Amino acid sequence: MTESFDWHKEAEVQWDGRAGFWNERSKTMWDDGSRKDIIPFIEKHLQKENSILDIGCGDGYGTYRLHKSGYIATGMDLSNEMISKARERLNQNEIHFIQGDISNMPFSDGSFDAVMAINVLEWTEKPAVALQELFRVLKRGGTLYCGILGPAAGPRANSYPRLHGEKAICNTMMPWEFEKLAADYNFTYLDGFGVYKEGVKPHHHEGLSPDLRQALSFLWLFMLRKEGE
């Protein structure tokens, strides 16, 4: 990877280019696909009318689902094209959407009761910096619902060019690495679950240790609590 490579700018350009593709598929993913269990899981743990930031919101359909579930939802994404799609689809008077970078968010300390970050940290240059920002904008005792791609996820192929020394905007952080990183930055693991491809059946992963279950996953959803200030 060359010194002149600007991860932030390249990520913005690439996600702008994927906005149309994402917009065509996001509703299906949240309603019936790999993300269908995430918001029902959040509803079991987070009280209605709490404030929640959907960071890396894409075209905003997940943010909309949070709003319909009774939360005060805010959506933010690095891609201006994604934010434009969100604003076209949804009532701006009900949901606030903003373009911005997870590593430098325009929110005050302790702004949100919760944060939802699904497949976001895998696309950051410095996950630790992004995680510190998530910690900062959460209220004390607030919850982070973070989805990290597992080894079986197709999007992991986006990091392959790095093996040739070429530029890439997808890092190689795995769920078990994120769990350790979160503990390093004063997050406590509360609960979570795995999402698996169709070929992985319950008997394949039941009874395995958490890290081995994560190794078979397409995505692992972590529920974490912010400890301290």
Least confident of 7-16, 82-91, 125-134: 82-91
CA distance 81 to 123: 17
Size of the chain in residues? 229
1 pLDDT exceeds 50?
A: no
Amino acid present at 139: K
B/e letters for 176-187, b = 16+ CB within 10 Å, e = fewer, are bebbeebeeeeb
Which residue from 33, 56, 53 is spatially nearest to 42, judged by alpha carbons? 53
Q: Which residues are paired to 54 by β-bridges? A: 75, 116
Q: Edge-to-edge, what's the strand order for the sheet holding 51-55?
A: 96-99, 72-77, 51-55, 112-118, 138-149, 219-226, 187-195
Q: What percent of the chain has pLDDT over 90?
A: 89
Q: What are phi and psi of 24, to 5 degrees?
A: -75, -20
Q: Which residues contact 32 (CB under 8 A, 6 or more apart)?
A: none
- pLDDT score recorded for residue 156: 94
Domain ranges of the chain: 7-226
The region of weakest confidence among 9-23, 65-79, 88-102, 209-223 is 88-102
Q: Which of 4-13, 105-114, 170-179, 185-194 shows the lowest per-residue confidence on average (mean pLDDT)?
A: 4-13
Question: Which two tokens mark 70?
Answer: 């009774």
Query: What does the pLDDT read at residue 92?
Result: 59
- Asked if pLDDT for residue 179 goes beyond 60, the answer is yes
Find out if CATH 3.40.50.150 is the number for domain 7-226. yes
More confident residue, 4 or 145: 145
pLDDT of res. 93: 66
Residue 2 has pLDDT above 50, yes or no: no
pTM of the model: 0.94
Distance between CA atoms of 53 and 123, rounded to whole angstroms?
Answer: 18
Alpha carbon distance, N-terminus to C-terminus of the chain: 36
- 223 — pLDDT class (breaks 50, 70, 90): very high
Mean pLDDT, residues 160-169 taken together: 92
pLDDT of residue 21 exceeding 50, the answer is yes
Reported as a pLDDT band with limits 50, 70 and 90, residue 229 is confident
